[in-house]
Structure 1
């Protein structure tokens, strides 16, 4: 997962709302943090675009992803004036021997944890890596987005150097979708190389996330939606602000 796709990820995500994630982080910290965060951990950082923008806000950023290819691209774009510690790690079993004031996991990374056991492991690891009163902020796809906007849908795009076909299919489990992606990427000889990837995402009821986070030890869990501190049940993107 996110192997050959790493080479085209930034181009395909060039209209991603990175600025909105930055603004939401500022809002959440202003309203819910009991301290001024310094150290920040980005869980599932991909090619590091958001990590870099967070570093530009003054955070001391550590970031990891389970894909070495994504980390390689992240390290290649790192700016000299913003030193970021990038590493390959798994959200369910990472050990950094360091605590952070703020941990974020955006762009529906948590939806890749498709069973409660994986969620529990990841949330436990994140909890253990937070300073006292630290914040963990993450987002997920809403159930309606998974069930009605993705399931049984097909998306495609043709560009001069990249084309793709993306099929979404439901599975036997509730609120779960499999993404089958086929890419055609232009080579230096004006031929096109094909590669395929399969991704799986699942979302759970909001109350299930809240109960799990509380059972791990988070003192306060606030639910928001669509880059706002307000909450709507029918939102496409749901945010959780969790205080240790």
Structure 2
């Protein structure tokens, strides 16, 4: 999926997100694995808050999103911060990822991977471009959140710029949540409607996919507190390390 008009209001509706805590955790994991510079990819960068924080820390960032509107927001922010020299913007589907070289690490946050119907393919693509010893850091909504929080519930968000009604429908098999957004732009009076899905992936399936493509899952924690997982954790946060290059994998296979 790709957010369209909703992209321009995303930050307003996501004001409660603690980007500083997220950045500290991501930077701490990168530092712990000796990745203090080089090229990182932000897989599903959204409006680029984490992307630009990492660029300010000295990384060369590849900001990838399927939404042209999201990338426009990132570009405007980068221009204001004079960070365009550390930033490459790519409009791509993560299931068809095609980079120009290798990366030292990748991040993907705010449940980007839940939007993908083919998670295994996205992990395979990230692995293909990842250097040996590289780190994949990503979060995903848990089955608990899809079942108990999103479910068949409706949420209303209000901001100065717009209002949003967010409607969820959990399919009977519990593997997919259909989501419909209705946004009212206060300034123009326009109304926008967008629909997409989130897919549920159990922890064992995610671990198996990582291992299949040459990653070792080093840790998984609560993606909001960054503490231990609980039965009511709404988000996973994963740290996976690439064990070998693509060529080594082919030779071993």
Common topology (TM > 0.5): yes
**For the structure 1 residues 35 and 48, does the alpha-carbon distance in structure 2 shift closer, same or farther, using more than 3 Å as the test?**
closer
Residues 50-84 of structure 1: CA deviation (Å, up to 9, x unaligned): 21111112211111100111111111111214531
8 Å CA contact 2:44–2:65 kept in 1: the answer is: yes
- How much does 1:28 deviate? 1.8
2: CA distance, partners of 1:133 / 1:66: 27
**For the structure 1 residues 127 and 229, does the alpha-carbon distance in structure 2 shift closer, same or farther, using more than 3 Å as the test?**
farther
8 Å CA contact 1:45–1:63 kept in 2: the answer is: yes
Structure having the larger proportion of residues in helix = 2
2: CA distance, partners of 1:144 / 1:122: 23
Q: Which residue of 1 aligns with 2:177?
A: 177
**For the structure 1 residues 130 and 168, does the alpha-carbon distance in structure 2 shift closer, same or farther, using more than 3 Å as the test?**
same
What is the aligned counterpart of 1:92 among 86, 91, 95?
A: 95
**For the structure 1 residues 97 and 157, does the alpha-carbon distance in structure 2 shift closer, same or farther, using more than 3 Å as the test?**
closer
Q: Which residue of 1 aligns with 2:219?
A: 222
- How much does 1:12 deviate? 1.6
1:80 aligns with 2:77: no
1: CA distance, partners of 2:212 / 2:151: 31
Q: Deviation above 6 Å: which 4+ runs of structure 1?
A: none
1: CA distance, partners of 2:232 / 2:133: 30
RMSD in angstroms over aligned alpha carbons? 1.8
Structure 2 residue ranges without an equivalent (≥5): 243-253
Q: Which residue of 2 aligns with 1:124?
A: 124
1: CA distance, partners of 2:155 / 2:229: 29
How many equivalent pairs are there? 237
1: CA distance, partners of 2:217 / 2:179: 33
Q: Which residue of 1 aligns with 2:234?
A: 236
- How much does 1:30 deviate? 3.8
Within a 5 Å distance, the mapping from 1:79-228 to structure 2 comes to 79-81=81-83, 83=85, 84-114=87-117, 118-188=118-188, 192-226=189-223, 227-228=225-226
8 Å CA contact 1:28–1:229 kept in 2: the answer is: no
1: CA distance, partners of 2:160 / 2:46: 24
1: CA distance, partners of 2:198 / 2:97: 21
TM-score by length of 2: 0.87
**For the structure 1 residues 233 and 243, does the alpha-carbon distance in structure 2 shift closer, same or farther, using more than 3 Å as the test?**
farther
Q: Which residue of 2 aligns with 1:19?
A: 20
**For the structure 1 residues 196 and 35, does the alpha-carbon distance in structure 2 shift closer, same or farther, using more than 3 Å as the test?**
closer
Structure 1 residue ranges without an equivalent (≥5): none
- Greater mean alpha carbon deviation, residues 144-153 or residues 223-232: 223-232
- How much does 1:26 deviate? 2.2
Q: Which residue of 2 aligns with 1:65?
A: 65
- How much does 1:219 deviate? 3.2
2: CA distance, partners of 1:160 / 1:134: 41
1: CA distance, partners of 2:204 / 2:37: 28
8 Å CA contact 2:217–2:238 kept in 1: the answer is: no
**For the structure 1 residues 93 and 156, does the alpha-carbon distance in structure 2 shift closer, same or farther, using more than 3 Å as the test?**
same
